[in-house]
Amino acid sequence: MLLEVHDLHVKAGGDEIIRGISLSIGEHETHILMGPNGSGKTTLLKAIMGLRGIEIEDGHILFNGEDITWKPPHVRARMGLAMMFQNPPRIKGVTLSDVIREIERRYGKPEDDLGNLVEISSLRNRSLHVGYSGGEIKQVEILLTILQKPRLALLDEPDSGVDVENLRRLGEAMNTMAERASLLIITHTGGILKYLRKVDKAHVIVEGRMICSGHSEEIIPLVLENGFDGISGREGCATG
Amino acid sequence: MASVGGKDVRPADIRGRALRALGKRSTYGVDVDVAKYLGVSKGKSTDSLTKLGIGRRELFSSASYVQADEAVLQTFVAESLRSLGVTMMPLHEALGRIGRYYWGLIDVDEDKYTALAELSGQGVYIKIPRDVHVKAPIYTCFVISTAGIAQPVHNLVVVEDGAELNLVTACSSSAAGLHVGVTELYVGAGAKVTYTMIHNWAEGTHSRPRTGARLADGSRLDMYYVNLNPGASLQTMPTVEIGARSSFYSASVLLASGSSSLDVGTSAMVSGEGGRAEIISKIIARDTSDVVSRTEILARAPGTRGHTECSGLMLSDDASIRTIPALESRSPTAELSHEAAIGRVDEEAISYLMARGLSEDEAIALLVRGFAIIELGELPLPVEKSLRSALRALAIKATG
């Protein structure tokens, strides 16, 4: 397994948000993570990435067989983890070009021409995410994530607040990434799903617990039909 | 004491006022006992200038003045400029022709430092004649290379109506001393001036720049100030008087380190209708440094606009920054605003950049560099390069 999360308990802002979650992702697999607002999806991704403000109370995270539970984010990033942020910080004075340069210095130039995947030329010399539209933020986040050449990309709601055209482009970018990497994608609305060529598994988190985990073609229709309530224990949906 | 032909040409009353003010403390900043810095030295080394990116190419491109300790090492004006009437000479040699400008913007007895500048007789006079546009930067460089000496200088710059000047002042020291730099800058009607100051003082140096500027109607002054190392203490409060339809932009970035004490600011008085002033101040404080940052805009005419922004970045638990922005309006149609913020490096931004593969130190360095970025207006390329290079060096020093 590329990523193994074992019985993870996580606090954020003093509250226990993740209450014993386990999750495994293999090489080149695409997993979908669903759940209602405040269920702990973003906190789980932040914990896997090792971001600040997240306190791991118990459990372990293994990446490529190595325990990364207490490793700082840049070490995880250099091991092959990357994250597309839903609400990235606005960084005044640091341009998009600055950040691209820093990433390329560490990960090398991109192997493909990414120009047809994302359109960011007008943003290059502007401060990162300062005054960007919702669609521009998504484009830039997916680009930076691709530039890191991750083995596992954590994508936090790539489809929130994005128009149809941007959604299609983001879908293409994710499909390109999926050829070389595993993906763990949070989606609240499922809007991105019809643009993805391949989804292997889906998981549902409610109140910090994985209530449902299994094949995507079984789980996703269940959620879309029944909502998040009342799907636990249904056929094709094992409790986590 | 400066003299021309052996005869002192300074009016006796000015000299008398200076003598009487020798013990007068400055309103702001820590007091320096100037008596400790009265040694005489003819400096030779200007090595510390090269750290500021000022070399032979810059100094011989248009016009330059270089002073080390009390010795004037160079006064150069390219023939192409000389033929247009551009003047650059030691101030004491120009005394006979600058009467109405001399101490016209700053009081000679403002404090002991202005008094010292008058009594020393050092400094440079620059004149750009009417309608002459000097695009290439003119450099004035002041270096302290001997420990324990004072370098009081009085510079007078006259840019006549419709003219253009890009002035760069580089100040540095390789030994601790006292630098007093009085600069009076007259910007004529419709004239355009950029004034860039890059300072890097050795540990233990005290500096007391005293700047006064007057903008005649329809003129523009852009002032940039980067200080990589303020030494032991720095106190300065340039005052700028802005005429009708004139605009003044000031952007400063200062790094306070060690146990340095800074009291810095800018005061703009918009006295002409439709005048504009914008003052941007950025302070980075580390170690046990202590900074007071003052900005003030006084609107004295209708239709004027003014904005100040003061940002402080705290890199240490033991440093302190105090910002004192002041706005004063005497016109109901004036629009004035200010913003001020002091904080640490944003934790969320650090975390974000670490997720992109930067170590914590690398992330902080990038964020500090971003903090220090200032908007640069239209500048000659060498000046823009020097400023960007100084800002990069400042950010490295801040986190190094």
How many CB atoms neighbour CB B179 within 10 A?
26
- What's the residue count for chain B? 400
| Predicted confidence (pLDDT) at residue B87 exceeds the cutoff of 60 | yes
Q: Cβ separation of B357 and A83 shorter than 8 Å?
A: no
Provide, for chain A, the percentages of residues in helix, strand and coil under a 3-state DSSP scheme, each rounded to the nearest 5.
Answer: 30, 30, 40
Given B357, B366, B371, which is nearest A98 (Cβ)? B366
Taking CB atoms and an 8 Å limit, are A73 and B355 in contact across chains? yes
Instruction: Give B-chain residues touching A98 at CB under 8 angstroms.
Output: 366, 370
Is any Cβ of chain B less than 8 angstroms from the Cβ of A107?
yes
Q: Does A79 contact B at CB distance below 8 Å?
A: no
What proportions of chain B, in percent to the nearest 5, are helix, strand and coil? 20, 45, 35
C-alpha distance from residue A211 to each of A4, A33, A82, A236 (Å): 18, 11, 26, 12
Side chain identity at residue A232, one-letter code: S
Write down the pLDDT at residue A230: 67
Best probe of the B interface among A45, A85, A86, A94, by most B CBs < 10 A, is A94
Domain A3-92+152-226 top-level CATH class = alpha beta
Name every chain A residue with its beta carbon within 8 A of the beta carbon of B394: none
Chain A interface, best mutation among B350, B352, B362, by max A CB count within 10 A? B352
User: Starting from the edge strand earliest in sequence, which strands make up the sheet with A30-34, in order?
Assistant: A81-84, A152-156, A182-186, A30-34, A201-206, A209-215
Q: Could you tell me the two tokens for B330?
A: 């005497």
Give mean pLDDT, residues B87-107.
93
Residue ranges of the domains in chain A? 3-92+152-226
Give residue limits of the domains in chain B.
43-345, 346-400
- Reported pTM: 0.90
Cα–Cα distance, B169 to B174 (Å, whole number): 17
What single-letter amino acid sits at A125?
A: N
The secondary element (H helix, E strand) that includes residue A37 is: none
Residue with the two structure tokens 């996580």: A10
pLDDT in tens, chain A (240 residues): 999 999 999 999 999 999 999 999 999 999 999 999 899 999 999 999 999 999 999 999 999 999 999 999 999 999 999 999 999 999 999 999 999 999 999 999 887 766 666 677 888 899 999 999 988 999 999 999 999 999 999 999 998 888 888 888 899 999 999 999 999 999 988 889 989 999 999 999 999 999 989 888 888 888 888 888 767 667 656 554
Question: Which residue of B lies nearest to A51 if distances are taken between CA atoms?
Answer: B351
Contact A93 B371 (CB under 8 A): yes
Q: Chain A residue with minimal CA distance to B354? A: A74
CA B56 vs. chain centroid, Å, equals 22
The number of C-beta contacts closer than 8 angstroms across A and B is 79
Token pair of A101, please?
A: 């340069």
CB B285 within 8 A of CB B320: yes
Assigned token pair, A124: 């290059």
Q: State the Cα–Cα distance between residues B351 and B195, nearest whole angstrom.
A: 38
CA atoms within 13 A on the CB side of A122: 7
Q: How confident is the model at residue B6 (pLDDT cuts 50, 70, 90)?
A: very low
State which residue of chain B sits closest to A89, comparing Cα positions. B349
Best residue in B356, B373, B374, B394 for a mutation probing chain A (most A CBs within 10 Å): B356
- Does residue B354 surpass a pLDDT of 70? yes
Mean pLDDT across B265-292: 97
B372: contact with A, CB 8 A cutoff: yes
